[in-house]
Structure 1
Amino acid sequence: MPATPVIAVFDVGKTNKKLFLFNERYEIVWEKTTQFPEITDDDGDACEDVNRLSAWVQSSLNDVQHVAGFSIKAVNFSGYGASFVHLGAAGQAVGHLYNYLKPFPDNVRRQFYDTYGTVSDLSMQTASPALDSLNSGLMLYRLKYDKPELFKQIDCSLHLPQYLSYLITGQCFSDMTSIGCHTMLWDFPNNQYHRWVTDERIDQILAPIFPSDGVVVPKDAGQTYKVGVGLHDSSAALIPYLASFQEPFILISTGTWSISMNPFNVSPITPEELQYDCLCFLQFKGKPVKASRLFAGYEHEQQTKRLADHFNTSADYYKTVQYEPAIIQSLRTNRPDSSTNFDSVKNPPMQESLFGYRNLSHFQTYEEAYHQLMLDLVAQQLISTDLVLEGSPVSRLFVDGGFSKNPIYMNLLATAFPQTEVYAASVAQASALGAALAIHNHWNSQPIPTEIIELKHFANDSVTI
């Protein structure tokens, strides 16, 4: 029996490191997952163990080539962004894979903005909220002035997804999905590196930009598969939708963050949008995608713990609560508000929901209180998503991740967007699948299947949010 042609995709998250084999119909036919404990960097802060990660990628690819029944035709990578791996002149990793939550020195931050412009101006030019270490370009600036001896050792700095590719190809490339995602490296109006990057000669340690949908050959001449250069995981997760739908849409990807992504909004980012935690990133074809972030998943987690304590239930009791339009209508008519001024909570950056200010003793049941929590979260989601919806011809809104499985959230969202078709979307391992689809033409002679995304429509029930 002939071996099944497959693509191997490494999907490297902060917690889980995964390897998948997809067949030509983009079905997962083999997978494995592992986790590594973090180590500490030279400042004592937690960070990824880059040496252990590197060894795992190389050994896993070697192992999977010997799994019976499969023939690997291509390899690609998706990984978390905002993190650089630095290579020395001999091609070895130097320093650490610093955590994007690493505290940023006040003096270096002040020096940067004093030299190159205000936070507002630089954020608008680079479509990046000022996020310190989460702006990966600023981490390179920091190394130059805070760790000059280490900086002198750097021959090339690669974002993590491109480093994973380097492990297999031995070739250094940059990719637009990594460069263009809240790095402060890219000048969006001029479509080039920002002036500060060239002034500081940072561009000299950045690898040449390679097409995100291109491939290179592995360094092992005996291998016949092709290798992608890797993609930022957020951009990769959008690719299955871009491949499946031609009509304009918004994708709300929900997890700890709820990220609204609109690939069809080409308007420049505004100061108000930046205040509300909007940004632009570049998708795999190099086009800008306007996105807004809301800390809704984290807020949901915190508030359901509060509800469980108050009503003496299990932490996940909310999963049993069914959508009840009558409760929503009752809350709209007789909402038990406290005397708190909620207007301040609606102001940017909206990191808290109104629900955290409500007195739980005003609710008779857990179910009633939970419906109010979802009302408050969806009210915030409406504000956040409207920022990227405005001025673009969107006809569909897709929700994937945790909230897509929440019937209360989905029904309220359909009510909040009455002119838009709202769907819960389910796609297995979207980031890994996107990385596979990005290089489809280089390994797969079959057409892209039409059913890679499962949809469930939610109709507007006319209950006012």
Structure 2
Amino acid sequence: MAPIPVIAVFDVGKTNKKLFLFDENYKIVFERTARFTETHDEDGDPCENLDSLRLSVFDSLREIFKHKEFELKAVNFSTYGASFVYVDEEGVPLTPLYNYLKPYPEDLGKQFYEAYGDEATFARETASPVLGNLNSGLQIYRLKYQQPEVFKKLKYALHLPQYMSYLLTGQMVSDLTSIGCHTALWDFGKNTYHNWLQKENILPKMAPLKPADEVSPPVFPGGEYKVGIGLHDSSAALIPYLVSFNMPFVLISTGTWSISLNPFNQTPLTADELKNDCLNYLQYKGSTVKASRLFTGYEYEQQIKRIATHFQQDVIRYRTINYDAGIVAVLNQQSSLKSSKQEGELQRSVFEQRDLNDFSDDVEAYHQLMIDIVQQQTISTNYVLAGCKVQRIFVDGGFSKNSVFMHLLALAFPQLEVYAASMAQATAVGTALAIHQSWNAKALPHDLIELKYYSGVHNEVA
């Protein structure tokens, strides 16, 4: 029997590191998930274990080559953003992979914005809310001023997807999806790097920009496969939808972050939007995507632990709670607390202020948590809907499987069609699709995404 042609995708999240093999119809034929123990940087802050990550790529490829039923045609990478690997001339990392949640020095932030304009103007130019280390450009600025000797040795600052690609190709490159996501590196009005990089002599430390569909031959032995340059995970998750739908839509991609993405909204960011954690991404073909973000997945995990502890339940129980319209009706009449959007990147729902003794049982408390989260989600998503006619909202990721979340979201947007989008690993599929023409002779499939409609009128699933 002839081996199955496959593409390998390494999908690296903050928590789970996944490897997928897709066949030419983008069906998963092999998958594996791993978690690595975090290490610590020189300040004692937790950070990614770069050695474990690097070795896992090599070990995984060796394993794939042993599977004679597969013929590896290509490899690509998607990872979380705002993370640089600083490499020297030999490609050796010079520092730990700093965590984007690491606190940013107040004096250094003040120095930066005094030099390059007020925060609001700069944020508008770069489509980047002021987020400290989540603005990865400011991480390089920090390196220059806090570790000047390391900065002198720096050949290139590679975003994490491109570092992983480099491991297999020896090619150091930059990609638009990583550069164009709240990095403070890109001038969206001029469609090029912001001039502060030139003034700080940081521009030479940025590897050459390459398109997302570019591939290179490997230096890692094992076969004649192609290697993509890697993508930022939020941008990769959008690709299957752009391939599958022409009608304007918003995608709410849910996980640790809940990100509302509108690739059909080209309006410039306003000061109010920037204050409320809206930003622009560059999608894989270079056009702008308006986005808004919530730290909802993290908030959800923390609060269900609180509910489970209080009511002496197993937290696993909350994976399968069904929507109860009666409970929601009662809670909406009782609650005096309403969500408000807070400035900053780690917004909270109002649920953490609630006394769990006010609820008769954990199911009631759970419904209130989801009401509060969806109130936040509605505010956030409305930012990217403004000024743009959209007919559909797609939800993928963890909350797409959450009956309570989906029903409440449909109620919040009764004028739109709301769908739970089910596909096997949107981020990984998008990462594979980005280099489709380099490894796959078949036409793009039309059945990538299954949709489940939720009505905002009768609270019924159609």
* Whole-Å separation in 2 of the counterparts to 1:425 and 1:437: 17
Structure 1 residue 113: deviation in Å? 1.0
> Structure 1 residues 366 and 9, CA, compared in 2 at 3 Å: closer, same or farther?
closer
One-letter amino acid matched to 2:188: F
Identity %: 56
Map 1:358-369; keep pairs closer than 5 Å. Answer: 358-369=354-365
| Residue 444 (structure 2) pairs with residue 448 (structure 1) | yes
What's the counterpart of residue 25 of structure 2? Answer: 25
* Whole-Å separation in 1 of the counterparts to 2:376 and 2:425: 27
What's the counterpart of residue 335 of structure 1? Answer: 334
* Whole-Å separation in 1 of the counterparts to 2:364 and 2:39: 44
Map 1:17-416; keep pairs closer than 5 Å. Answer: 17-219=17-219, 223-332=223-332, 334-337=333-336, 342=338, 345-349=340-344, 351-416=347-412
Q: Secondary structure at the match of 1:434?
A: helix
Q: Deviations over 1:139-198 (max 9, x none)?
A: 111111110000011111211101111111111110000000111100111111011111
* Whole-Å separation in 1 of the counterparts to 2:299 and 2:222: 51
Q: Deviations over 1:23-62 (max 9, x none)?
A: 0011111223333222222333222232332232123223
Q: Secondary structure at the match of 2:210?
A: coil
1:12 touches 1:79 (CA, 8 Å); kept in 2?
yes
* Whole-Å separation in 1 of the counterparts to 2:167 and 2:447: 33
TM-score (norm. length: structure 2): 0.93
1:185 touches 1:197 (CA, 8 Å); kept in 2?
yes
1:108 touches 1:146 (CA, 8 Å); kept in 2?
no
Q: Deviations over 1:43-91 (max 9, x none)?
A: 3322223233223212322331231111111111111221111221233
Give the RMSD, CA atoms, in angstroms: 2.1
1:212 touches 1:228 (CA, 8 Å); kept in 2?
yes
> Aligned match of 1:459 in 444, 447, 455?
455
One-letter amino acid matched to 2:227: V
* Whole-Å separation in 2 of the counterparts to 1:222 and 1:321: 47
* Whole-Å separation in 1 of the counterparts to 2:220 and 2:97: 26
Structure 1 residue 269: deviation in Å? 0.8
Q: Deviations over 1:301-356 (max 9, x none)?
A: 33333333444433344445432223333333x3153xx6x57x445458222333
Structure 1: gaps of 5 or more residues: none
Structure 1 residue 359: deviation in Å? 4.1
One-letter amino acid matched to 1:323: Y
1:261 touches 1:292 (CA, 8 Å); kept in 2?
yes
One-letter amino acid matched to 2:261: M
Larger deviation: 314-323 or 428-437? 314-323
* Whole-Å separation in 2 of the counterparts to 1:369 and 1:32: 35
One-letter amino acid matched to 2:114: D
2:276 touches 2:341 (CA, 8 Å); kept in 1?
no
Q: Secondary structure at the match of 1:93?
A: coil
Structure 2: gaps of 5 or more residues: none
2:24 touches 2:440 (CA, 8 Å); kept in 1?
yes
> Structure 1 residues 357 and 155, CA, compared in 2 at 3 Å: closer, same or farther?
closer
One-letter amino acid matched to 1:400: D
Q: Secondary structure at the match of 2:73?
A: strand
Q: Secondary structure at the match of 2:151?
A: helix
* Whole-Å separation in 2 of the counterparts to 1:93 and 1:211: 24
One-letter amino acid matched to 1:275: K
2:65 touches 2:222 (CA, 8 Å); kept in 1?
no
